[in-house]
Amino acid sequence: MTQTQIMAPVESVVLRTDKRFTDGLCSGYLCYFHDYQGKTLTDGDILAIVQDTLKDERYFKLFLAGWLVSFIEALLEDRDVFAR
């Protein structure tokens, strides 16, 4: 193996088998940037968002799982969560 092969990033994918998960992905990502970007968020705020989302009975569980995954992805793209 060459050094390039050793250092090459590994790309993993999530196998999406249901449109509801994909719809949730789109919704959560956009929701973060529309409703939360630029606003102060505490760890308690994030906990409340996660808990409220999981309790929401208006949507399918797969939609909510996708929503949370992409909301957190958007949050991590936008902020340095390890900053003080």
pLDDT of residue 58: 97
The mean pLDDT value for 23-34 works out to 98
Helical spans, DSSP H, in the chain: 3-7, 19-31, 43-55, 61-78
Residue 10 falls within a domain, yes or no? Answer: no
Residue 84 domain-assigned? Answer: no
pTM over 0.85: no
Closest to 53 measured CA to CA, from 66, 69, 39, 64:
64
Residue 37 lies in a domain: yes
Q: Which domain holds residue 44?
A: 16-78
CB 81 within 8 A of CB 43: no
Asked if residue 4 is part of any domain, the answer here is: no
pLDDT at 83: 81
Domain membership of residue 65 (yes or no) is yes
Query: pLDDT at residue 9 above 80?
Result: no
How many domains in the chain?
A: 1
Tens digits of residue pLDDT in 58-76: 999 999 999 999 999 999 9
